[in-house]
Amino acid sequence: MMIRRLALVALLFSPACSAQPQSQPSNDAATAADQAFVPPQPASASEPVPKNAPQNPSIKNVPAVAGKANLPETPPPFAIQKIGQFEEPFGMAFLPDGGLLVTEKAGTVKLRHADGSVVTVTGNPKVDPGGQGGLLDVAIAPDFAESKTVYLTYSEGGEKGRALALARGTLVAPNPAHAALQNVEVIWRSGSNGPGGQFGARIAFSPDGKYLFLSSGERQRFSPAQDPEQLLGKILRLTLDGKAAPGNPMYDAGGVRAMTWSTGHRNPYGLAFAPDGTLWETEMGPRGGDELNVILSGRNYGYPVVSNGDNYSGQPIPDHPSKPEFEAPKLWWNPSISPGGMMIYTGDLFPQYKGSAFIAALSGQALIRVELNGTTAKPADQWAMDARIRDVIQAPDGAIWVLQDDGVLDRLTPKG
């Protein structure tokens, strides 16, 4: 009986949008900010509510009625070719010569050459994998052609548990059979080591190549997303050396505040700049309420005070219109699609899709296209892929490559 009860509790608090089951949020992570939330009593002993669960019954829930983006699934209109197989991958990045770097969560980086051959990259930072943790995103520096610098995000172990880290190193590939990262150094750490998934961990470089934007999830701890002294639940704007970037909204305050670009995020899993310089983000909400946001300097996106989804305990969260002082999503999905990686298409192979955002959907098992126009977004297509899609990227020739959660790498091209 006890085993069944524990299993039920784990199910209730494991977001369907995650890649693996997540641990129940730790009450040890609660801060004074949690006192603003007064969780209702659970409906039954089988539906516990953590003491730091976001819920304030004094706030009237004003349902969000605009911006809902779920569309009927349709068959993909493109040809799909399997071109690779990896082991529990997370992120990928193209090299100028057409090679592709792929991260595997256990701690391995693979280099797929343009001819399809694959080699393991040695010299990676030490990773503490498990749950949603592991080796996560990969990105090449804006000046990669000269510097050969590669950036990696990953979960780093510590006495109190895992925390997100950002490292960089120099990629050396003297011949097709050998590749290594050298001079690897950790340039940023989130701190707040402990339990919980929701690392976020996506990297995007500013259009001028001077700054690095990094998404940091709230680790299923609720209040850190609103705590200005914690790096969790934030989008950070950093120098290429991992320091606070001049011009940030609270740069003069120093510390965590100096690094913060925006706050109030849950699990930001996609981050990409449009050609016009607008920064877009996909975010896993709680149960329902996945989001597509425009990320603006100094704005607060509301989690866990507001969300268009509900807690995994079943308790509702006030919708965004209830607290208009928070920045609302441009689009949201309920039921969840579990957005993974995102890219904004600029190629010529699919000219009809230029300027559209392509979003990988995990639980939705779909590839989703959204039409962008400045800071507005319109749902366009939701193609059934019959697989959990982890990441999506544009190839140098304009083809669309998608990475499935089971490790399959597919190339999408126009039919006919």
In which residue are the tokens 């399809």 written? 116
Please report the pLDDT score of residue 193 as a whole number: 82
Mean pLDDT of 205-216: 98
- Model confidence at 26, in pLDDT bands (50, 70, 90)? very low
What is the token pair recorded at 386?
Answer: 């019959």
Please report the pLDDT score of residue 58 as a whole number: 52
* Residues 322-332: tens digit of each pLDDT: 999 999 999 99
* Residues 81-93: tens digit of each pLDDT: 999 999 999 999 9
- Model confidence at 341, in pLDDT bands (50, 70, 90)? very high
Phi, psi of 399 (to 5 degrees): -65, 160
Taking all residues of the chain, what is their mean pLDDT, rounded to a whole number?
87
User: Alpha-carbon distance 335 to 375, whole Å?
Assistant: 24
Mean pLDDT of 241-264: 98
User: Alpha-carbon distance 9 to 237, whole Å?
Assistant: 37
pLDDT > 90? residue 334: yes
- Model confidence at 254, in pLDDT bands (50, 70, 90)? very high
* Residues 182-208: tens digit of each pLDDT: 999 999 999 988 788 888 999 999 999
- pTM score, two decimals? 0.87
Stronger pLDDT, 84 or 21, i.e. the higher one: 84
User: Alpha-carbon distance 291 to 301, whole Å?
Assistant: 10
User: Alpha-carbon distance 339 to 268, whole Å?
Assistant: 9
Per-domain residue ranges of the chain? 337-416
pLDDT > 80? residue 157: yes
CB 360 within 8 A of CB 389: yes
CB 158 within 8 A of CB 193: yes
Please report the pLDDT score of residue 43 as a whole number: 28
Please report the pLDDT score of residue 59 as a whole number: 54
User: Alpha-carbon distance 203 to 208, whole Å?
Assistant: 15
**CA-wise closest residue to 189 among 216, 228, 159, 160:** 216
337-416 to CATH, choices 1.10.20, 2.20.28, 3.30.720, 2.40.10: 2.40.10
Please report the pLDDT score of residue 79 as a whole number: 97
Angle at 389 between CA 68 and CA 282, to 5 degrees: 40
pLDDT > 70? residue 35: no
Please report the pLDDT score of residue 7 as a whole number: 37
pLDDT > 50? residue 24: no
**CA-wise closest residue to 155 among 192, 181, 180, 184:** 192
